């Protein structure tokens, strides 16, 4: 069974500061990994994903994440936070069957202080 752990249910940063949201996963096979963002009262929007190939993946809105197999991690970063980045962020792993159901972490709420 796969699982995802997001350390820190709330993260607060100042505008312009580095954003680091942590995600660790467990999977018996090479995983497909995703970061989704959820703004208040909205659906989930894909930020970025790792499937194969380059382990540093870039996404929308200046976010990027690095797949580290040895650490079973897929942390999300952004060099400089904007007020508009305030949202809930979810890390997810896709199952290793053709069904591809997503197993989500518990989410991290990012607050950006002016």
Partner 1 sequence: DTAVSQTPKYLVTQMGNDKSIKCEQNLGHDTMYWYKQDSKKFLKIMFSYNNKELIINETVPNRFSPKSPDKAHLNLHINSLELGDSAVYFCASRASGGEGETQYFGPGTRLLVL
Task: Tell me if residue 64 falls in helix, strand or coil.
Answer: strand
Q: Which of residues 27-56 bind partner 1 (CB under 8 A)?
A: 32, 34, 36, 38, 41-46, 49, 51
Q: Contact, 73 vs 23, CB < 8 A?
A: yes
Query: Does an H or E element contain 110, and which?
Result: strand 108-113
111: contact with partner 1 by CB under 8 A: no
Q: How far is the CB of 10 from partner 1 (least distance, A)?
A: 11
DSSP one-letter string for 10-57? EEEEETTSPEEE--EEE-SSPPEEEEEEE-TT--EEEEEEE-SS-SEE
**Of 74 and 90, which has the nearer Cβ to partner 1?**
90
Per CB under 8 A, 106 contacts partner 1: yes
- By the rule CB under 8 A, 104 interacts with partner 1: yes
Question: In the complex with partner 1, which residue's Cβ is closer, 16 or 69?
Answer: 69
Q: Nearer to partner 1 by C-beta: 17 or 44?
A: 44
Q: For residue 3, how many C-alpha atoms fall within 13 Å in the half-sphere facing its CB?
A: 3
The reply to whether 86 sits near partner 1 by the rule CB under 8 A is: no
| Residue placing its CB nearer to partner 1 in the complex, 15 or 59 | 59
């Amino acid at each position: 069974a796969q699982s995802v752990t997001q350390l820190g249910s709330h993260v607060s940063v100042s505008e312009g500061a580095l954003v680091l949201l942590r995600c660790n996963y467990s999977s018996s096979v090479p995983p497909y990994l995703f970061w989704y963002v959820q703004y208040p009262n909205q659906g989930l929007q894909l930020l970025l994903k790792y499937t194969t190939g380059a382990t540093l993946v870039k996404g929308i809105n200046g976010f990027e994440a690095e797949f580290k197999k040895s650490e079973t991690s897929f942390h999300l970063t952004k060099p400089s936070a904007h007020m508009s980045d305030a949202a809930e962020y979810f890390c997810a792993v896709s199952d290793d069957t053709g069904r591809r159901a997503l197993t989500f972490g518990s989410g991290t709420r990012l607050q950006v202080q002016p």
